[in-house]
Structure 1
């Protein structure tokens, strides 16, 4: 293992990097964004692969068997050969509409893609279109796919478009039919959603300064209860479950990433740690959070250009200065933390702290 916090790989780009993905075994790292080239690199020794892109790359996903990868490239969805980058099939969701998200179902047979207003399914092998699920008010701010691939959670932000208003919702849809299974409606736009491991509950953060947990089927809110008041207004904008569903991490505008107990929402720890009784340290807002695959560590990125790896109590294992982080993800084996930044992508070594097992 390398020294935790060391940069293991830097991939130069001509523009901002807002899409990154690791292959299932963690050996390859793909990055793309505002320039006209998607880059796939081996974390270690291996031949680079550069794939021309038509526009802005907003999302990348490797298939479960790593033989292909999907790209949201401006108005097109592409599924490409994992070795050569050659296009296997390409097509739009809707002419003149940008594609924002691509995800493979866990069995690799279907591709889920989304624009601001539509979720669409495709046969991943040949691009044959499947179900299309329109969203009645724009826009889709975030999307999560349940681990078994049967449910989709959507974060809806209604502060856009011709009928804009300070409102939003978190919705759960059945993949096979598009049927809405549950909906939670906070007092403002919803920024982010995340399923627990078995897909039975959903975590969401909203512009009304709340983090809420609700049942995927039916939409009943589990916490906070009506008599619970969170005096720490954190403007939460990013959320994630740990792989076992016991803990969650929430990033807020006050500069802290909080570890909460999933069942109750009670805080266990926060990073960075700040001594009690001192003035507000003025940390930059947290923009991205993620849980490591081992469930023992989480990571955060903030607008003061610091990336942190920390344990459940908030103890930091490293704090690394970076450029502005636009995307963040752990490798499936936990060894690496990938970052998309302005002008380049970076892979940081987590050392033993990220090890699964």
Structure 2
């Protein structure tokens, strides 16, 4: 039995790894990026698969049954057989705009997102079911509700058509395109995350605030940071505990903080302050394990940390700069994409499930 923090699977790439995904049964790991090759690897016994793609991959996702894998490949989206790599369908989504995100809804529909567009695609044929144009752009981050009926968007207007120091967090109904809720902080919104029941959305903004609001109507429930707080955390990434009790927020100040989902009260913080210690650098990615007992963070100090709700670190693994990060569905593995390689880190058998 390996120790937590052991690299169970290193996968070499020739370039940046910008997208990773685990199969629903947590037995396979996929990664892709700038080198135009999708790599699917077994975690343990199995046959590796290399699938050529056309451009720089920015998103991949396994279908709910694991038989298909969707790929966001420059301006196009493709659906492939996850065992052979054979193309089921492929085509451009929004010519002139790169596809940044691809997800599966629980019923198998494919959700693809560019800087300005949310598209719902039929899995069998790739036919467009719904196109939702977002104005003003830019869509900086997205999250899909667990039931697949709603999408939350982080909007950054600094990089949109108006170039304003403004932004919003929005919730859209995927069937109709209707806006269900909207929160407007004083600057760009960096990241969003749905609560497990889909009734709340967590977001963080360049105005130095982290806020919780109701998905329906947009009423703010709480905020931390901002002018009323002397602590400048510069939050830029967020995640919700799958059980709905906790949230984790990563800040440019170098710390990942676990907050109570009900109130925003701080429960834990990593890394721990050490007298004379070096600055860890900005936290770029955070995630919660499926059991809600552990969280992970990645910083520009090139360290990935796994920690519990008491601020205790289970491991700190050195990596290259992390570009993407995700837990496996069973919680046993943590996947990261870096420059020139992807890693699957073992969280330990005790943390599975």
Same-fold call, TM cutoff 0.5: yes
1:297 Cα deviation (Å)? Answer: 0.4
- Native 8 Å contact 2:208 2:225 kept in 1: no
1:279 Cα deviation (Å)? Answer: 6.3
- Native 8 Å contact 1:294 1:334 kept in 2: yes
CA 279–184 in structure 1, closer or farther in 2 if over 3 Å, else same: farther
1:96-111 matches, cutoff 5 A: 96-108=96-108, 110-111=109-110
1:333 Cα deviation (Å)? Answer: 0.3
- Native 8 Å contact 1:213 1:221 kept in 2: yes
Aligned residues: 353
Query: 2:6 corresponds to which residue?
Result: 6
Query: 2:119 corresponds to which residue?
Result: 120
SS of residue matched to 2:349: helix
Give distance in 1, aligned partners of 2:161 and 2:291: 44
Do residues 349 (structure 1) and 346 (structure 2) align? yes
TM-score, length basis structure 2: 0.97
Give distance in 2, aligned partners of 1:315 and 1:123: 44
- Native 8 Å contact 2:209 2:224 kept in 1: no
- Native 8 Å contact 2:209 2:226 kept in 1: no
1:281 Cα deviation (Å)? Answer: 4.4
Note the residue ranges of structure 2 that are not aligned, 5 or more in a row.
Answer: none
1:224 Cα deviation (Å)? Answer: 2.2
Q: CA RMSD in A?
A: 1.5
Note the residue ranges of structure 1 that are not aligned, 5 or more in a row.
Answer: none
CA 270–88 in structure 1, closer or farther in 2 if over 3 Å, else same: same
1:302 is aligned, of 296, 299, 302, to: 299
Do residues 72 (structure 1) and 72 (structure 2) align? yes
SS of residue matched to 1:126: coil
Give distance in 2, aligned partners of 1:77 and 1:150: 21
SS of residue matched to 2:317: strand
Give distance in 2, aligned partners of 1:149 and 1:314: 33
- 1:255-274 Cα distance to aligned partner (Å, 9 max, x none): 11101000000001101111
1:125 Cα deviation (Å)? Answer: 1.2
1:230-241 matches, cutoff 5 A: 230-241=229-240
1:1-357 matches, cutoff 5 A: 1-108=1-108, 110-224=109-223, 229-274=228-273, 278=275, 281-356=278-353
Give distance in 2, aligned partners of 1:225 and 1:299: 21
- 1:108-145 Cα distance to aligned partner (Å, 9 max, x none): 1x110010000001101111111100001111000100
Give distance in 2, aligned partners of 1:188 and 1:353: 42
SS of residue matched to 2:269: strand
